[in-house]
Structure 1
C-alpha cells in the first residue's frame, strides 16, 4: 500500500507516530495498522454514540499493544448501542463493525463506522424533529 503525506502531516503506524517535514510517499510493504492524521477523531468531537464508538476503536488501532481497557469499553458501548437501536441499517452496520473488531481489523471497522455517521445523523434529526415543532 502506498500513502502520500503532506509536509507536517502525521501517520500512526502500529502505535508509532510519524510526522514528515516535507511531502513524501510511503510504501507499506507488509500488513500494518495505520491511521492518517485526517482520520483521527479528537475526544471533544466524540459527541454522539457512534462517534464515541469510533473513538474507542481508534484507540485500539493507535495503541495496539494495550487494547484491554479500550476493548472492554468498546464492548459495553457497542452492546448498549445495539440494545437501543431500531434501525435495520444501523444494526447491520454495528454487527459488521463488531465482527471486524473481533478480527482486529480496526481500520476497516473505522471505515464502516464512518459510513454509518449519516445514518446516525438522520436518526438523531428524526428524533429531534418532534421537539423542534413544539
Structure 2
C-alpha cells in the first residue's frame, strides 16, 4: 500500500474519483488509503476555457480521468492532440514536458499528467505573449504612438 492522502472539501464542493462524481453537502475530509485517480473541482477545466493548445490537451486528459469508460476515444484524441503539439512547439522545455506527459498517460498516471500540463501553462503563456507584444508594437508604430 502507498502513502495515504487526505483531502478536505468544503460544503458543495465536488471531487471526481476514478470516474465517479462526488459532491459533499458539508465540510468533510476524505482519506484515500490506496492509489486513486482524482480531480478536485477547482482543477476542472470547462470547455470554453480550453483556448490554448496546452489547455486543450489538459481538457482531453481530464476527460480520460473523469470518464474512464470512454478510454479508447479519449486515448485516440490524446494521441492526435499530443502529436500536433509535438510538431508545433519549438521550446525544448515544453517538448520535454510533453514527452513526460505522454509517458505518464501511458503508465496510467493521468492525475500526474494533468499536474505536469498545468506546470507548463506559464511557459505557454510566455510563448503566446511574444506574438501579442509584437503585434501591439507594430500597431503602436502604425498609429504613431
- Give TM class, smaller chain: over 0.9
Aligned to 1:14: 18
Runs of 4+ displaced beyond 3 Å: none
Q: Which runs of 5+ in 2 are unaligned?
A: 139-145
Displacement of 1:32 in angstroms is 1.2
Which of 1 and 2 has greater Rg?
Answer: 2
Superposed, 1:1-134 pairs within 5 Å as 1-134=5-138
- The CA RMSD measured in Å over matched residues stands at 0.8
Q: Could you tell me the TM-score, scaled by structure 2's length?
A: 0.90
2: CA distance, partners of 1:65 / 1:105? 16
CA deviation map 1:79-102 (0-9, x unaligned): 111101110110011111011011
1: CA distance, partners of 2:36 / 2:111? 10
Q: Which runs of 5+ in 1 are unaligned?
A: none
Q: Could you tell me the TM-score, scaled by structure 1's length?
A: 0.97
